[in-house]
Structure 1
Amino acid sequence: MSITSSWIIDLVILFATVSLVAYKYATRKFDYWKKRNVYHLKPLPFIGNFKDVSLFKVTIGEWLKQMYDSTDEPYFGIFVYDEPHLVIKDPQLIKQILVKDANSFPDRTNAAPQHNEIIANLLFFQKSPNWKVYRSKISPAFTSGKLKLMFHSINEISQNLNRYIEKHLGDIEAKEVCAKFSTEAIARCAFGLKAHCFEDENAAFRKVGRRLFDFSWRNAIIQSAYFFRPDWVSWLHLDFFDKQVSDYMIEVFSNVMKQREDTNTKGNDFLDMLIELKKNQDLKEKYSFGKHFYMSESTQKMLKSFLRKAFVQDK
Protein backbone atom coordinates (compact mmCIF):
# COMPACT_ATOMS: atom_id res chain seq x y z
CA MET A 1 0.00 0.00 0.00
CA SER A 2 1.51 3.30 -1.15
CA ILE A 3 1.42 6.50 0.83
CA THR A 4 2.18 8.74 -2.12
CA SER A 5 2.28 8.31 -5.88
CA SER A 6 6.07 7.87 -5.83
CA TRP A 7 7.74 4.75 -4.38
CA ILE A 8 10.91 6.79 -3.79
CA ILE A 9 9.07 9.22 -1.53
CA ASP A 10 7.42 6.26 0.21
CA LEU A 11 10.84 4.74 0.84
CA VAL A 12 12.19 8.01 2.23
CA ILE A 13 9.19 8.36 4.56
CA LEU A 14 9.60 4.76 5.73
CA PHE A 15 13.33 5.22 6.36
CA ALA A 16 12.74 8.47 8.26
CA THR A 17 10.01 6.88 10.39
CA VAL A 18 12.13 3.84 11.27
CA SER A 19 15.11 6.07 12.07
CA LEU A 20 13.02 8.32 14.32
CA VAL A 21 11.55 5.35 16.20
CA ALA A 22 15.00 3.80 16.62
CA TYR A 23 16.43 7.11 17.85
CA LYS A 24 13.60 7.62 20.35
CA TYR A 25 14.02 4.08 21.65
CA ALA A 26 17.83 4.35 21.95
CA THR A 27 17.62 7.66 23.85
CA ARG A 28 14.58 6.88 26.01
CA LYS A 29 16.73 6.60 29.18
CA PHE A 30 19.09 9.50 28.54
CA ASP A 31 17.31 11.72 31.07
CA TYR A 32 17.77 9.12 33.82
CA TRP A 33 20.61 10.92 35.64
CA LYS A 34 19.24 14.39 34.94
CA LYS A 35 16.01 13.52 36.73
CA ARG A 36 18.03 12.41 39.75
CA ASN A 37 20.27 15.49 39.70
CA VAL A 38 23.41 13.35 39.23
CA TYR A 39 26.35 14.68 37.26
CA HIS A 40 26.76 12.64 34.09
CA LEU A 41 28.69 12.62 30.86
CA LYS A 42 26.77 13.55 27.74
CA PRO A 43 25.85 10.36 25.85
CA LEU A 44 25.65 9.74 22.11
CA PRO A 45 22.58 8.07 20.56
CA PHE A 46 22.76 4.26 20.39
CA ILE A 47 26.23 3.98 22.03
CA GLY A 48 26.00 6.30 25.06
CA ASN A 49 29.49 6.94 26.45
CA PHE A 50 30.72 3.58 25.15
CA LYS A 51 32.01 4.75 21.76
CA ASP A 52 35.74 4.05 22.10
CA VAL A 53 35.19 0.62 23.64
CA SER A 54 32.58 -0.29 21.00
CA LEU A 55 35.10 0.58 18.28
CA PHE A 56 37.81 -1.35 20.16
CA LYS A 57 40.04 1.71 20.37
CA VAL A 58 40.61 1.24 24.12
CA THR A 59 40.07 -1.54 26.65
CA ILE A 60 37.27 -1.41 29.18
CA GLY A 61 39.80 -0.69 31.93
CA GLU A 62 41.35 2.22 30.03
CA TRP A 63 37.91 3.60 29.23
CA LEU A 64 36.82 3.51 32.87
CA LYS A 65 40.07 5.26 33.86
CA GLN A 66 39.32 8.03 31.34
CA MET A 67 35.78 8.40 32.71
CA TYR A 68 37.13 8.38 36.27
CA ASP A 69 39.66 11.15 35.55
CA SER A 70 37.17 13.33 33.68
CA THR A 71 35.52 14.74 36.82
CA ASP A 72 36.16 15.50 40.48
CA GLU A 73 32.62 14.55 41.50
CA PRO A 74 32.38 11.85 44.24
CA TYR A 75 30.16 9.87 41.88
CA PHE A 76 28.84 10.33 38.36
CA GLY A 77 26.59 8.68 35.82
CA ILE A 78 27.50 7.13 32.50
CA PHE A 79 25.60 5.30 29.78
CA VAL A 80 26.70 1.97 28.34
CA TYR A 81 24.72 2.01 25.11
CA ASP A 82 21.31 3.00 26.52
CA GLU A 83 21.75 1.63 30.06
CA PRO A 84 22.60 4.03 32.93
CA HIS A 85 25.44 3.07 35.29
CA LEU A 86 26.73 4.84 38.39
CA VAL A 87 30.50 5.15 38.95
CA ILE A 88 31.54 5.71 42.58
CA LYS A 89 34.81 7.54 43.33
CA ASP A 90 34.52 8.57 46.97
CA PRO A 91 36.29 6.02 49.26
CA GLN A 92 33.73 6.42 52.04
CA LEU A 93 30.85 5.73 49.69
CA ILE A 94 32.66 2.71 48.29
CA LYS A 95 33.19 1.38 51.82
CA GLN A 96 29.52 1.99 52.65
CA ILE A 97 28.39 0.00 49.60
CA LEU A 98 30.85 -2.88 49.83
CA VAL A 99 30.79 -3.34 53.61
CA LYS A 100 27.80 -1.89 55.46
CA ASP A 101 25.28 -2.21 52.62
CA ALA A 102 26.75 -5.34 51.02
CA ASN A 103 23.44 -7.21 51.45
CA SER A 104 21.78 -4.70 49.15
CA PHE A 105 24.45 -5.15 46.46
CA PRO A 106 25.11 -8.89 46.40
CA ASP A 107 25.65 -9.45 42.67
CA ARG A 108 27.88 -8.29 39.87
CA THR A 109 26.29 -6.93 36.71
CA ASN A 110 27.73 -9.66 34.48
CA ALA A 111 25.53 -12.23 32.78
CA ALA A 112 24.65 -15.46 34.57
CA PRO A 113 23.92 -17.71 31.57
CA GLN A 114 21.62 -20.67 32.13
CA HIS A 115 21.98 -22.10 28.63
CA ASN A 116 25.49 -23.40 29.38
CA GLU A 117 25.72 -25.44 32.60
CA ILE A 118 29.52 -25.23 32.81
CA ILE A 119 29.63 -21.43 32.62
CA ALA A 120 26.54 -21.06 34.82
CA ASN A 121 28.32 -22.96 37.61
CA LEU A 122 31.51 -20.90 37.53
CA LEU A 123 31.77 -18.93 40.75
CA PHE A 124 32.54 -15.64 38.99
CA PHE A 125 29.28 -15.68 37.02
CA GLN A 126 26.94 -16.89 39.77
CA LYS A 127 24.36 -14.81 41.57
CA SER A 128 23.10 -14.97 45.13
CA PRO A 129 22.17 -17.14 46.94
CA ASN A 130 24.12 -19.80 44.98
CA TRP A 131 27.25 -17.65 45.05
CA LYS A 132 27.31 -17.54 48.85
CA VAL A 133 27.02 -21.31 49.17
CA TYR A 134 29.66 -22.14 46.56
CA ARG A 135 32.06 -19.57 47.98
CA SER A 136 31.78 -21.01 51.49
CA LYS A 137 32.70 -24.46 50.13
CA ILE A 138 35.61 -23.28 48.02
CA SER A 139 37.13 -20.78 50.48
CA PRO A 140 38.94 -23.48 52.54
CA ALA A 141 41.18 -24.11 49.53
CA PHE A 142 42.62 -20.60 49.89
CA THR A 143 43.48 -20.48 53.58
CA SER A 144 47.03 -19.50 54.51
CA GLY A 145 47.79 -23.12 55.42
CA LYS A 146 46.61 -24.45 52.04
CA LEU A 147 48.46 -21.74 50.14
CA LYS A 148 51.68 -22.55 52.01
CA LEU A 149 51.44 -26.13 50.72
CA MET A 150 51.54 -24.75 47.18
CA PHE A 151 54.69 -22.70 47.86
CA HIS A 152 56.99 -25.51 46.75
CA SER A 153 55.29 -25.67 43.35
CA ILE A 154 55.37 -21.89 42.90
CA ASN A 155 59.06 -21.83 43.87
CA GLU A 156 59.83 -24.52 41.29
CA ILE A 157 57.97 -22.55 38.60
CA SER A 158 59.91 -19.42 39.59
CA GLN A 159 63.18 -21.28 39.04
CA ASN A 160 61.97 -22.31 35.57
CA LEU A 161 61.14 -18.64 34.94
CA ASN A 162 64.67 -17.57 35.91
CA ARG A 163 66.22 -20.15 33.59
CA TYR A 164 63.94 -19.06 30.74
CA ILE A 165 64.85 -15.38 31.18
CA GLU A 166 68.58 -16.17 31.33
CA LYS A 167 68.27 -18.19 28.14
CA HIS A 168 66.36 -15.46 26.25
CA LEU A 169 68.08 -12.31 27.50
CA GLY A 170 67.75 -9.49 24.98
CA ASP A 171 64.79 -11.03 23.21
CA ILE A 172 61.91 -11.19 25.69
CA GLU A 173 58.25 -10.27 25.34
CA ALA A 174 57.29 -9.37 28.91
CA LYS A 175 53.57 -10.06 28.45
CA GLU A 176 54.24 -13.53 27.06
CA VAL A 177 56.68 -14.38 29.86
CA CYS A 178 54.15 -13.33 32.52
CA ALA A 179 51.44 -15.32 30.75
CA LYS A 180 53.67 -18.41 30.74
CA PHE A 181 54.31 -18.05 34.47
CA SER A 182 50.64 -17.53 35.40
CA THR A 183 49.52 -20.39 33.14
CA GLU A 184 52.10 -22.71 34.65
CA ALA A 185 51.06 -21.72 38.18
CA ILE A 186 47.35 -22.23 37.49
CA ALA A 187 47.93 -25.60 35.84
CA ARG A 188 50.07 -26.77 38.76
CA CYS A 189 48.02 -25.41 41.68
CA ALA A 190 44.53 -26.00 40.27
CA PHE A 191 44.96 -29.10 38.10
CA GLY A 192 48.11 -30.64 39.54
CA LEU A 193 49.73 -30.70 36.09
CA LYS A 194 52.99 -29.46 34.65
CA ALA A 195 52.07 -27.30 31.68
CA HIS A 196 55.69 -27.10 30.33
CA CYS A 197 55.09 -23.52 29.15
CA PHE A 198 58.78 -22.58 29.52
CA GLU A 199 60.03 -25.69 27.72
CA ASP A 200 57.55 -25.74 24.83
CA GLU A 201 56.42 -22.58 23.02
CA ASN A 202 53.35 -24.47 21.79
CA ALA A 203 52.41 -26.13 25.08
CA ALA A 204 48.75 -27.17 25.10
CA PHE A 205 47.82 -25.12 28.18
CA ARG A 206 49.47 -22.01 26.76
CA LYS A 207 47.66 -22.41 23.43
CA VAL A 208 44.37 -22.60 25.32
CA GLY A 209 45.32 -19.46 27.26
CA ARG A 210 45.98 -17.58 24.03
CA ARG A 211 42.61 -18.58 22.63
CA LEU A 212 40.96 -17.43 25.84
CA PHE A 213 42.72 -14.12 26.54
CA ASP A 214 44.35 -12.86 23.34
CA PHE A 215 42.38 -10.36 21.29
CA SER A 216 39.95 -11.66 18.70
CA TRP A 217 36.71 -10.20 17.39
CA ARG A 218 34.85 -13.14 18.88
CA ASN A 219 36.33 -12.63 22.36
CA ALA A 220 35.96 -8.85 22.27
CA ILE A 221 32.29 -8.87 21.29
CA ILE A 222 31.10 -11.75 23.46
CA GLN A 223 33.08 -10.82 26.58
CA SER A 224 31.85 -7.22 26.32
CA ALA A 225 28.29 -8.52 26.07
CA TYR A 226 28.75 -10.61 29.23
CA PHE A 227 29.57 -7.52 31.27
CA PHE A 228 27.50 -4.82 29.59
CA ARG A 229 24.73 -6.56 27.64
CA PRO A 230 23.73 -9.62 29.68
CA ASP A 231 20.33 -9.72 27.98
CA TRP A 232 22.08 -10.40 24.64
CA VAL A 233 23.83 -13.37 26.23
CA SER A 234 20.52 -14.97 27.15
CA TRP A 235 18.80 -14.17 23.87
CA LEU A 236 21.62 -15.34 21.62
CA HIS A 237 22.96 -18.13 23.87
CA LEU A 238 26.48 -16.73 23.78
CA ASP A 239 29.23 -18.78 25.42
CA PHE A 240 31.95 -16.88 27.26
CA PHE A 241 34.57 -19.50 26.38
CA ASP A 242 35.39 -20.86 22.96
CA LYS A 243 34.00 -24.41 22.71
CA GLN A 244 37.44 -25.90 22.03
CA VAL A 245 38.77 -24.21 25.18
CA SER A 246 35.97 -25.44 27.44
CA ASP A 247 36.09 -28.97 25.97
CA TYR A 248 39.83 -29.17 26.57
CA MET A 249 39.60 -27.92 30.15
CA ILE A 250 36.74 -30.31 30.99
CA GLU A 251 38.66 -33.26 29.57
CA VAL A 252 41.87 -32.38 31.43
CA PHE A 253 40.08 -31.73 34.71
CA SER A 254 38.04 -34.94 34.51
CA ASN A 255 41.06 -37.08 33.64
CA VAL A 256 43.20 -35.72 36.48
CA MET A 257 40.36 -36.11 38.99
CA LYS A 258 39.76 -39.72 37.92
CA GLN A 259 43.46 -40.51 38.17
CA ARG A 260 43.64 -39.01 41.68
CA GLU A 261 40.63 -41.02 42.82
CA ASP A 262 41.87 -44.28 41.28
CA THR A 263 45.36 -43.99 42.76
CA ASN A 264 44.30 -42.24 45.99
CA THR A 265 47.07 -39.65 45.58
CA LYS A 266 47.15 -36.02 46.69
CA GLY A 267 48.72 -32.97 45.10
CA ASN A 268 48.12 -30.38 47.85
CA ASP A 269 46.13 -28.29 45.39
CA PHE A 270 42.64 -27.05 44.58
CA LEU A 271 41.67 -30.38 43.05
CA ASP A 272 42.18 -32.19 46.36
CA MET A 273 39.59 -29.96 47.98
CA LEU A 274 37.02 -30.71 45.25
CA ILE A 275 37.60 -34.45 45.63
CA GLU A 276 37.02 -34.15 49.37
CA LEU A 277 33.78 -32.25 48.73
CA LYS A 278 32.71 -34.96 46.33
CA LYS A 279 33.26 -37.64 48.99
CA ASN A 280 31.42 -35.72 51.73
CA GLN A 281 28.27 -37.74 52.54
CA ASP A 282 26.47 -34.83 54.23
CA LEU A 283 26.86 -32.62 51.19
CA LYS A 284 25.60 -35.34 48.88
CA GLU A 285 22.15 -34.92 50.41
CA LYS A 286 22.03 -31.32 49.15
CA TYR A 287 24.34 -31.37 46.12
CA SER A 288 25.05 -33.49 43.10
CA PHE A 289 28.72 -34.17 42.38
CA GLY A 290 28.33 -35.86 39.07
CA LYS A 291 29.52 -34.25 35.86
CA HIS A 292 28.47 -30.85 37.18
CA PHE A 293 28.02 -29.31 40.62
CA TYR A 294 24.68 -27.67 41.40
CA MET A 295 22.30 -26.81 44.26
CA SER A 296 19.07 -28.67 44.82
CA GLU A 297 15.77 -26.82 44.51
CA SER A 298 14.90 -27.41 48.20
CA THR A 299 18.23 -25.92 49.29
CA GLN A 300 17.66 -22.87 47.09
CA LYS A 301 14.26 -22.28 48.72
CA MET A 302 15.75 -22.70 52.21
CA LEU A 303 18.56 -20.25 51.49
CA LYS A 304 16.24 -17.68 49.94
CA SER A 305 14.02 -17.83 53.04
CA PHE A 306 17.02 -17.49 55.35
CA LEU A 307 18.50 -14.56 53.44
CA ARG A 308 15.15 -12.78 53.26
CA LYS A 309 14.74 -13.02 57.06
CA ALA A 310 18.33 -11.95 57.66
CA PHE A 311 17.91 -8.94 55.40
CA VAL A 312 14.72 -7.84 57.18
CA GLN A 313 16.38 -8.19 60.60
CA ASP A 314 19.41 -6.24 59.41
CA LYS A 315 17.20 -3.40 58.32
Structure 2
Amino acid sequence: MSSPPASPNPEDHTRRERVEQTVRDTDGRRAALYAVLLALVAFYLAPLEAGLMTAFKTTDAFNRTVPFLPPFGGGFTFEPWEVAFAEMSNALINSLLLAIPATVLSATLGSIAAYGLTTIDWKYQTALVALFIAGIFIPYQAVLVPLSRLYAIVNTQELLSFLWGLPLMREHYASIINLIITHTAYGIPITFLLFRGYYQSLSDEMIEAARLDGASVYSIYRNIVLPLSKPMFAVTLIYQFTQVWNDLLFALVILPSGGGSAAPVTIALNSLTGGIVESFNTQMAGAFVAALPTLLVYVLFGEQFAKGVAGET
Protein backbone atom coordinates (compact mmCIF):
# COMPACT_ATOMS: atom_id res chain seq x y z
CA MET A 1 0.00 0.00 0.00
CA SER A 2 1.18 3.46 -0.81
CA SER A 3 1.82 5.80 2.08
CA PRO A 4 -0.41 8.89 2.38
CA PRO A 5 1.11 12.18 1.14
CA ALA A 6 3.02 14.05 3.77
CA SER A 7 1.29 17.07 5.14
CA PRO A 8 3.01 20.41 4.49
CA ASN A 9 5.29 21.60 7.25
CA PRO A 10 4.13 24.96 8.68
CA GLU A 11 7.73 25.94 9.34
CA ASP A 12 8.70 25.42 5.67
CA HIS A 13 5.75 27.55 4.58
CA THR A 14 6.76 30.33 6.97
CA ARG A 15 10.39 30.15 5.80
CA ARG A 16 9.31 30.39 2.15
CA GLU A 17 7.23 33.46 2.89
CA ARG A 18 10.17 35.10 4.65
CA VAL A 19 12.45 34.41 1.69
CA GLU A 20 9.90 35.83 -0.77
CA GLN A 21 9.45 38.91 1.39
CA THR A 22 13.22 39.42 1.61
CA VAL A 23 13.49 39.15 -2.18
CA ARG A 24 10.70 41.70 -2.65
CA ASP A 25 12.34 44.08 -0.16
CA THR A 26 15.72 43.66 -1.85
CA ASP A 27 14.23 44.33 -5.29
CA GLY A 28 12.47 47.42 -3.94
CA ARG A 29 15.67 48.79 -2.39
CA ARG A 30 17.63 48.04 -5.57
CA ALA A 31 15.03 49.82 -7.71
CA ALA A 32 15.11 52.84 -5.39
CA LEU A 33 18.91 52.88 -5.49
CA TYR A 34 18.96 52.73 -9.30
CA ALA A 35 16.40 55.54 -9.46
CA VAL A 36 18.55 57.75 -7.23
CA LEU A 37 21.69 56.94 -9.25
CA LEU A 38 19.94 57.69 -12.55
CA ALA A 39 18.68 60.99 -11.13
CA LEU A 40 22.23 61.92 -10.08
CA VAL A 41 23.60 60.97 -13.50
CA ALA A 42 20.96 63.11 -15.20
CA PHE A 43 21.66 66.01 -12.83
CA TYR A 44 25.42 66.01 -13.46
CA LEU A 45 25.17 65.36 -17.21
CA ALA A 46 22.49 67.99 -17.82
CA PRO A 47 24.98 70.89 -18.31
CA LEU A 48 27.07 68.73 -20.66
CA GLU A 49 24.00 67.77 -22.68
CA ALA A 50 22.82 71.40 -22.85
CA GLY A 51 26.25 72.55 -24.00
CA LEU A 52 26.43 69.84 -26.66
CA MET A 53 22.95 70.68 -27.98
CA THR A 54 23.86 74.38 -28.06
CA ALA A 55 27.01 73.64 -30.06
CA PHE A 56 24.93 72.12 -32.87
CA LYS A 57 22.33 74.90 -33.06
CA THR A 58 22.19 77.96 -35.24
CA THR A 59 21.95 81.30 -33.48
CA ASP A 60 18.26 81.57 -34.35
CA ALA A 61 17.54 78.04 -33.09
CA PHE A 62 19.38 78.79 -29.85
CA ASN A 63 17.23 81.88 -29.29
CA ARG A 64 13.98 80.00 -30.01
CA THR A 65 14.53 76.73 -28.12
CA VAL A 66 15.35 75.55 -24.64
CA PRO A 67 19.09 74.73 -24.30
CA PHE A 68 18.38 71.10 -23.36
CA LEU A 69 16.33 70.36 -26.48
CA PRO A 70 17.97 69.21 -29.73
CA PRO A 71 17.86 71.54 -32.74
CA PHE A 72 14.58 70.75 -34.48
CA GLY A 73 13.17 72.41 -37.57
CA GLY A 74 16.32 73.13 -39.56
CA GLY A 75 18.27 74.55 -36.65
CA PHE A 76 21.03 71.92 -36.87
CA THR A 77 24.44 73.10 -38.11
CA PHE A 78 28.15 72.25 -37.95
CA GLU A 79 29.16 75.89 -38.47
CA PRO A 80 29.99 76.58 -34.77
CA TRP A 81 32.44 73.66 -34.79
CA GLU A 82 34.03 74.81 -38.02
CA VAL A 83 34.42 78.37 -36.74
CA ALA A 84 35.75 77.21 -33.36
CA PHE A 85 38.29 74.86 -34.90
CA ALA A 86 39.44 77.48 -37.42
CA GLU A 87 39.88 80.08 -34.66
CA MET A 88 41.59 77.67 -32.24
CA SER A 89 43.71 75.45 -34.50
CA ASN A 90 46.93 77.41 -33.96
CA ALA A 91 46.20 77.68 -30.23
CA LEU A 92 45.71 73.90 -30.02
CA ILE A 93 49.17 73.38 -31.50
CA ASN A 94 50.65 75.91 -29.05
CA SER A 95 49.02 74.16 -26.10
CA LEU A 96 50.35 70.78 -27.25
CA LEU A 97 53.84 72.27 -27.64
CA LEU A 98 53.47 73.64 -24.12
CA ALA A 99 51.68 70.87 -22.24
CA ILE A 100 53.58 67.82 -23.49
CA PRO A 101 57.15 68.99 -22.64
CA ALA A 102 56.07 70.61 -19.36
CA THR A 103 54.22 67.46 -18.30
CA VAL A 104 57.02 65.05 -19.21
CA LEU A 105 59.72 67.23 -17.64
CA SER A 106 57.89 67.82 -14.37
CA ALA A 107 56.97 64.14 -14.01
CA THR A 108 60.51 62.95 -14.83
CA LEU A 109 62.24 65.43 -12.53
CA GLY A 110 59.70 64.76 -9.77
CA SER A 111 60.39 61.02 -10.07
CA ILE A 112 64.15 61.48 -9.91
CA ALA A 113 63.89 63.82 -6.92
CA ALA A 114 61.53 61.46 -5.10
CA TYR A 115 63.88 58.53 -5.72
CA GLY A 116 66.86 60.44 -4.35
CA LEU A 117 64.95 61.65 -1.29
CA THR A 118 63.14 58.41 -0.50
CA THR A 119 65.30 55.37 -1.19
CA ILE A 120 68.63 57.01 -0.29
CA ASP A 121 69.52 58.31 3.17
CA TRP A 122 71.74 61.38 3.26
CA LYS A 123 72.26 64.60 5.19
CA TYR A 124 69.67 67.42 4.99
CA GLN A 125 67.20 65.04 3.35
CA THR A 126 64.34 66.04 5.64
CA ALA A 127 64.93 69.76 5.04
CA LEU A 128 64.76 69.30 1.26
CA VAL A 129 61.59 67.25 1.53
CA ALA A 130 60.05 70.06 3.57
CA LEU A 131 61.02 72.57 0.88
CA PHE A 132 59.40 70.46 -1.83
CA ILE A 133 56.21 70.16 0.19
CA ALA A 134 56.21 73.90 0.88
CA GLY A 135 56.42 74.53 -2.86
CA ILE A 136 53.02 72.92 -3.32
CA PHE A 137 51.34 75.57 -1.19
CA ILE A 138 52.75 78.60 -3.01
CA PRO A 139 49.78 80.18 -4.82
CA TYR A 140 50.02 81.29 -8.43
CA GLN A 141 49.28 84.88 -7.46
CA ALA A 142 52.38 85.04 -5.24
CA VAL A 143 54.78 84.45 -8.14
CA LEU A 144 53.15 86.48 -10.91
CA VAL A 145 55.15 89.67 -10.33
CA PRO A 146 58.52 87.88 -9.88
CA LEU A 147 57.87 85.84 -13.03
CA SER A 148 56.97 88.86 -15.12
CA ARG A 149 60.09 90.65 -13.87
CA LEU A 150 62.26 87.59 -14.53
CA TYR A 151 61.16 87.17 -18.13
CA ALA A 152 61.48 90.91 -18.70
CA ILE A 153 65.15 90.67 -17.71
CA VAL A 154 65.95 87.28 -19.25
CA ASN A 155 65.05 87.70 -22.93
CA THR A 156 64.54 84.14 -24.11
CA GLN A 157 63.92 85.24 -27.67
CA GLU A 158 67.37 86.83 -27.92
CA LEU A 159 69.10 83.98 -26.08
CA LEU A 160 67.68 81.47 -28.56
CA SER A 161 67.98 83.68 -31.64
CA PHE A 162 70.22 81.10 -33.33
CA LEU A 163 67.25 78.70 -33.50
CA TRP A 164 64.77 80.91 -35.32
CA GLY A 165 66.42 80.40 -38.70
CA LEU A 166 65.98 76.63 -38.52
CA PRO A 167 63.09 74.83 -40.26
CA LEU A 168 59.82 74.63 -38.29
CA MET A 169 61.13 77.07 -35.68
CA ARG A 170 59.18 80.27 -34.97
CA GLU A 171 60.10 83.28 -32.86
CA HIS A 172 56.94 83.03 -30.73
CA TYR A 173 58.19 79.65 -29.47
CA ALA A 174 60.35 81.64 -27.04
CA SER A 175 57.21 82.64 -25.14
CA ILE A 176 56.06 79.02 -25.09
CA ILE A 177 59.45 78.01 -23.69
CA ASN A 178 58.95 80.51 -20.86
CA LEU A 179 55.63 78.85 -20.06
CA ILE A 180 57.23 75.39 -20.22
CA ILE A 181 59.88 76.41 -17.70
CA THR A 182 57.27 77.95 -15.40
CA HIS A 183 54.90 74.97 -15.43
CA THR A 184 57.77 72.51 -15.05
CA ALA A 185 59.10 74.30 -11.98
CA TYR A 186 55.61 74.66 -10.52
CA GLY A 187 54.76 71.01 -11.21
CA ILE A 188 57.85 69.40 -9.67
CA PRO A 189 56.69 69.69 -6.01
CA ILE A 190 53.36 67.92 -6.55
CA THR A 191 54.87 65.22 -8.77
CA PHE A 192 57.63 64.75 -6.20
CA LEU A 193 55.08 64.22 -3.44
CA LEU A 194 53.09 61.72 -5.52
CA PHE A 195 56.19 59.71 -6.44
CA ARG A 196 57.55 59.86 -2.88
CA GLY A 197 54.40 58.26 -1.50
CA TYR A 198 54.59 55.60 -4.22
CA TYR A 199 58.29 54.84 -3.67
CA GLN A 200 57.77 54.46 0.07
CA SER A 201 55.57 51.45 -0.70
CA LEU A 202 58.29 49.69 -2.73
CA SER A 203 60.10 46.71 -1.22
CA ASP A 204 63.24 47.78 0.63
CA GLU A 205 64.59 44.24 0.37
CA MET A 206 64.48 44.39 -3.43
CA ILE A 207 66.48 47.61 -3.59
CA GLU A 208 68.90 46.42 -0.91
CA ALA A 209 69.47 43.17 -2.81
CA ALA A 210 70.35 45.18 -5.92
CA ARG A 211 72.85 47.22 -3.90
CA LEU A 212 74.45 44.06 -2.52
CA ASP A 213 74.82 42.80 -6.10
CA GLY A 214 76.82 45.93 -6.88
CA ALA A 215 74.20 47.95 -8.76
CA SER A 216 74.77 51.69 -8.77
CA VAL A 217 72.20 54.30 -7.76
CA TYR A 218 71.55 55.11 -11.42
CA SER A 219 71.30 51.43 -12.37
CA ILE A 220 68.78 50.72 -9.60
CA TYR A 221 66.61 53.62 -10.72
CA ARG A 222 66.79 52.75 -14.42
CA ASN A 223 66.34 48.98 -14.18
CA ILE A 224 64.16 48.54 -11.07
CA VAL A 225 62.44 51.70 -9.87
CA LEU A 226 61.61 53.26 -13.24
CA PRO A 227 59.83 50.19 -14.71
CA LEU A 228 57.78 49.88 -11.51
CA SER A 229 56.81 53.56 -11.75
CA LYS A 230 54.59 53.27 -14.85
CA PRO A 231 51.27 53.50 -12.93
CA MET A 232 52.41 56.57 -10.99
CA PHE A 233 53.76 58.15 -14.18
CA ALA A 234 50.25 57.76 -15.60
CA VAL A 235 48.82 59.55 -12.55
CA THR A 236 51.27 62.43 -12.72
CA LEU A 237 51.04 62.75 -16.50
CA ILE A 238 47.25 62.97 -16.43
CA TYR A 239 47.26 65.40 -13.51
CA GLN A 240 49.98 67.66 -14.89
CA PHE A 241 48.69 67.62 -18.45
CA THR A 242 45.26 68.69 -17.24
CA GLN A 243 46.73 71.46 -15.07
CA VAL A 244 48.98 72.85 -17.79
CA TRP A 245 46.37 72.53 -20.54
CA ASN A 246 43.71 74.39 -18.56
CA ASP A 247 45.99 77.15 -17.27
CA LEU A 248 44.99 80.70 -18.13
CA LEU A 249 46.61 82.83 -15.43
CA PHE A 250 50.28 82.19 -16.28
CA ALA A 251 49.53 82.56 -19.99
CA LEU A 252 47.89 85.96 -19.50
CA VAL A 253 50.76 87.26 -17.34
CA ILE A 254 53.81 85.79 -19.07
CA LEU A 255 52.79 86.03 -22.72
CA PRO A 256 53.05 89.53 -24.23
CA SER A 257 50.08 91.32 -25.83
CA GLY A 258 47.47 88.80 -24.80
CA GLY A 259 49.37 85.87 -26.22
CA GLY A 260 49.55 86.78 -29.90
CA SER A 261 50.87 83.93 -32.02
CA ALA A 262 51.88 82.02 -28.86
CA ALA A 263 48.40 82.07 -27.30
CA PRO A 264 47.37 78.69 -25.86
CA VAL A 265 43.92 77.19 -26.17
CA THR A 266 42.59 78.81 -23.00
CA ILE A 267 43.26 82.32 -24.31
CA ALA A 268 41.81 81.41 -27.71
CA LEU A 269 38.70 80.02 -26.03
CA ASN A 270 38.37 83.18 -23.97
CA SER A 271 38.50 85.19 -27.21
CA LEU A 272 35.68 83.27 -28.91
CA THR A 273 33.10 86.04 -28.75
CA GLY A 274 30.80 87.35 -31.41
CA GLY A 275 31.37 91.04 -30.81
CA ILE A 276 28.14 92.78 -29.83
CA VAL A 277 26.13 89.53 -29.97
CA GLU A 278 27.47 86.59 -27.98
CA SER A 279 27.97 83.46 -30.10
CA PHE A 280 27.06 80.91 -27.45
CA ASN A 281 26.98 78.06 -29.96
CA THR A 282 30.54 78.81 -31.10
CA GLN A 283 31.74 79.14 -27.52
CA MET A 284 30.22 75.78 -26.57
CA ALA A 285 31.78 74.13 -29.62
CA GLY A 286 35.13 75.70 -28.70
CA ALA A 287 34.84 74.39 -25.15
CA PHE A 288 34.36 70.83 -26.43
CA VAL A 289 37.24 71.20 -28.88
CA ALA A 290 39.48 72.42 -26.06
CA ALA A 291 38.44 69.52 -23.82
CA LEU A 292 39.09 66.75 -26.36
CA PRO A 293 42.87 66.39 -25.74
CA THR A 294 42.45 65.99 -21.98
CA LEU A 295 39.66 63.47 -22.57
CA LEU A 296 41.96 61.55 -24.92
CA VAL A 297 44.71 61.48 -22.29
CA TYR A 298 42.29 60.04 -19.72
CA VAL A 299 41.18 57.37 -22.20
CA LEU A 300 44.74 56.36 -23.12
CA PHE A 301 46.13 56.27 -19.57
CA GLY A 302 42.97 55.47 -17.61
CA GLU A 303 43.92 51.90 -16.70
CA GLN A 304 47.40 52.86 -15.52
CA PHE A 305 45.90 55.83 -13.68
CA ALA A 306 43.62 53.51 -11.71
CA LYS A 307 46.57 51.25 -10.84
CA GLY A 308 48.65 54.22 -9.69
CA VAL A 309 45.86 55.58 -7.49
CA ALA A 310 45.37 52.13 -5.99
CA GLY A 311 49.11 51.80 -5.33
CA GLU A 312 49.55 48.80 -7.63
CA THR A 313 52.81 48.14 -9.44
Superposition TM-score, scaled by structure 1 size: 0.24
Higher percent of residues as strand: 1
Computing the radius of gyration from Cα coordinates, the structure with the larger value is: 2
Higher percent of residues as helix: 2
Superposition TM-score, scaled by structure 2 size: 0.24
